[in-house]
Amino acid sequence: MAVWQADEQRSQATINQLSMRRAAQSANDLPEVLSWANPEVVHLRGAESLLPDVEIYATGWQAALQRAPAVKFQPSNWQMERPPVLTVGVKPPQVKVLGFAFPESANWESFARRAEPDTPEAGKRNSGPKRHATKATRKDNKPKGRTRVLPPRDIIKLEDRLYYLLQPPLESIAATQALRFPFEPFPYQFEGVAFLYSRFAGILADEMGLGKTMQAITTIRMLLCSGEVRNVLLICPKPLVSNWKKEFELWAPEIPFSIVQGNSSRRQWQWEQASDVPVTIANYELVLRDELFVNAGEQHFDLVVLDEAQRIKNRSSSTSQVVRRIPRTRSWALTGTPVENSCEDLVGIFEFLCPGYLYTGMEPARIGEMVSDYILRRTKDLVMTDMPPRMNRDAQIALSPEQWSQYQVAEKDGVIQLNNMGDAITIQHVFELVLRLKQICNFDPLTGASSKLDRLEADLEEVAASGKKAIVFSQWVKTLERIAERLERFHPLQYHGRIPSNQRDPILERFKEDPDCSVILMSYGAGAVGLNLQFCEYVFLFDRWWNPAVEDQAINRAHRIGARGAVTVTRMISSGTIEERIHQVLEEKRELFDTILSQAKGPARSGLSQEDIFGLFQLKMPGSGNDLIGKVA
């Protein structure tokens, strides 16, 4: 009985254990096992389902699960011999050091002392009117910017790049008065100096009136001071020689310079002494005439500067060929219009700077990319935000009845004559008709009537009454003379190619100082470049020039640094005539200029081509296969 009861208890315990496991597998609250040896002892919450699914029978089978595992140990000898150690001495690697010997730094202090006037009279003579006083004078000597000389992209040697990068900021030189300036330069002018200083070939193409002359002189001054150049040849148009003389006396009074002039013997002696003179100034005509003297013997210039460099845009011209043969190390070009008519203009200038760098037929956008590191171009609207504005107005003027009658007859007969010429017609024949019609737009050839002059006289009455001064530009000297006769009461002065060179400066001085002289009459050729007439507030273009760049140069005689007020530009256009058609073509020509200098997409038309000239009268070019047909305006 006892045995049966014991067996019954074990069987009941086993049944209870299995029931607990099944309940735990399906229940949410699972008991926690305290000991695998005694599964009956559990917490209220646990993981009974983790118990091994093994039934322990009363016979004692699977009793091994309740015994601890047997662990056997086997001793092993871990002692090893000490590995041998070999010490090798390693020398530290030698660091490669590059040493550069730069030229001796410029002694700015001693250079500045040389620039100080020795006498009160000299100081008074060099002081001059403070053109920038209201805009550029600073109350302290602290530099407001840090303009450093940056090396061009084509400089590869490390020592050459470091030489320029280690130069002090230009503002610090000006702030300490180590290199004295008569007026505080504008920030953009410091940038122009930094650009030229490191260039062996470059174009300073700032818009007229931004001070290209001052920037070039300052850079030449610094190069001479640092010993990088010893002799400089500056070539400019003949009317601008006196202007360069004045600017050197103002911005670099300590630099000796020589002006090539006089008879042949004197000029020959001057060219022979050019290597010993820091700066030699000559005009294009004398350089062409004295080619044998310029290139004689071992003559060599460290720097050749071309002012109004568009003079050499035609590669086949004698002037371009002679200038390109001058032995030199550095080549600079100063021009506000590097592109006047077509891309060939810039190609011609680069034949002087970097022969073969550009070639005929290149796309304008490609040219813009290649010359970007060689050209520095700024406009007044970008750098002179506080400069007085320039207001343009196109005066559409109807011809007088006498003029209109003569104009219609001249154009109709001219077009018929051109048509009858057939394939024998040339561009010169078309130009002759254009010039004849433009002259009729100015004055009636029979009666002398002029609607333009009537308008000009009315406008000048207001200018004179307000005490202002005006400039009138025309293409023809004869037109200026006829205007002068009509405007006698305004005491007009004339400035054109027929005026001797020694009389031109007194004319400009009188125009500036005499309050009774309200107007000066100028030709585009003589008055479009190099003159400073910023005291004028009115500009009249009596007739239009072929090139908008030339017109801009003329306008910028008045609209430049130091302008007293807003400059009003009046472009007189005879409505319904050839002048309207020329105006449209001139506006299209501006696109080419902007394309190259801004690297923009090429324009649809590149300017005043032969096809454009023929198109002024709806004429087909010879060889087109169609009959010539003219259209009378």
Give me the mean pLDDT over the 129-155 stretch: 56
Would you call 157 helix, strand, or coil by DSSP?
A: coil
User: Per DSSP, which regions of 386-480 are E strands?
Assistant: 390-397, 470-474
User: What are the DSSP calls for 343-376, one per residue?
Assistant: HHHHHHHHHHHSTTSS-TT--HHHHHHHTTTTEE
Mutual angle of helices 427-442 and 451-465, in 10-degree steps: 50
Residue-wise pLDDT for 530-546, tens only, equals 577 878 888 999 988 77
Kindly indicate the confidence band of residue 105, based on its pLDDT and cuts at 50, 70 and 90: low
Residue-wise pLDDT for 172-227, tens only, equals 777 766 677 888 888 888 999 999 998 899 999 887 778 899 999 999 998 998 88
Please report, for residues 55, 117, 307, 443, 463, the alpha-carbon distance to residue 482 in angstroms, rounded to integers and kept in the order given: 135, 48, 33, 9, 20
Fold match between domain 148-383 and domain 390-615: yes
Comparing 106-115, 159-168, 572-581, which segment has the lowest mean pLDDT? Answer: 106-115
Give me the mean pLDDT over the 499-523 stretch: 88
390 with 565: CB under 8 angstroms? no
Max avg pLDDT among 27-36, 388-397, 477-486, 584-593: 477-486
Q: What is the amino acid identity at position 3?
A: V
Please report, for the chain, the start and end positions of each structural domain, with discontinuous segments joined by +.
2-62, 148-383, 390-615
Residue-wise pLDDT for 364-388, tens only, equals 888 888 888 899 988 877 776 666 7
Comparing 28-32, 417-421, 549-553, which segment has the lowest mean pLDDT? Answer: 28-32
pLDDT on residue 23: 55
552 with 375: CB under 8 angstroms? no
Kindly indicate the confidence band of residue 298, based on its pLDDT and cuts at 50, 70 and 90: confident
Percent of all residues in the chain with a pLDDT value above 70, rounded to a whole number: 72
Would you call 235 helix, strand, or coil by DSSP?
A: strand
Kindly indicate the confidence band of residue 231, based on its pLDDT and cuts at 50, 70 and 90: very high
On the question of pLDDT at 316 being above 60, the answer is yes
Comparing 261-270, 308-317, 339-348, 474-483, which segment has the lowest mean pLDDT? Answer: 339-348
On the question of pLDDT at 140 being above 80, the answer is no
Cα 432 to chain centroid distance, Å, stands at: 38
On the question of pLDDT at 96 being above 60, the answer is yes
Max avg pLDDT among 177-186, 321-330, 388-397, 525-534: 321-330
pLDDT on residue 270: 92
On the question of pLDDT at 395 being above 70, the answer is yes
On the question of pLDDT at 62 being above 50, the answer is yes
Beta-carbon contacts of residue 133 (< 8 Å; ≥ 6 apart): 183
Residue 361, number of CB atoms within 10 A of its CB: 8
pLDDT on residue 606: 38
On the question of pLDDT at 489 being above 80, the answer is yes
Give me the mean pLDDT over the 345-361 stretch: 88
Instruction: Please check whether the domain covering 148-383 is classified as CATH 3.40.50.10810.
Output: yes
Q: What are phi and psi of 465, to 5 degrees?
A: -65, -30
Q: What CATH superfamily classification does 390-615 receive?
A: P-loop containing nucleotide triphosphate hydrolases (3.40.50.300)
Mean pLDDT of the chain: 76
Look at strands 567-574 and 538-541 and give their pairing: parallel
Residue-wise pLDDT for 575-626, tens only, equals 888 888 888 777 766 666 666 655 433 333 334 455 555 655 555 555 544 4
Is the pTM higher than 0.95? The answer reads: no
pLDDT on residue 57: 56
Max avg pLDDT among 48-57, 107-116, 118-127, 506-515: 506-515
- Exposure string for 562-578, b = 16+ CB within 10 A, e = fewer: bbeeebbbbbbbbeebb
Kindly indicate the confidence band of residue 112, based on its pLDDT and cuts at 50, 70 and 90: very low
Residue-wise pLDDT for 536-573, tens only, equals 888 999 988 777 777 877 888 777 766 777 788 898 98
pLDDT on residue 615: 58
On the question of pLDDT at 63 being above 70, the answer is no
pLDDT on residue 307: 92
On the question of pLDDT at 235 being above 80, the answer is yes
Give me the mean pLDDT over the 309-323 stretch: 90
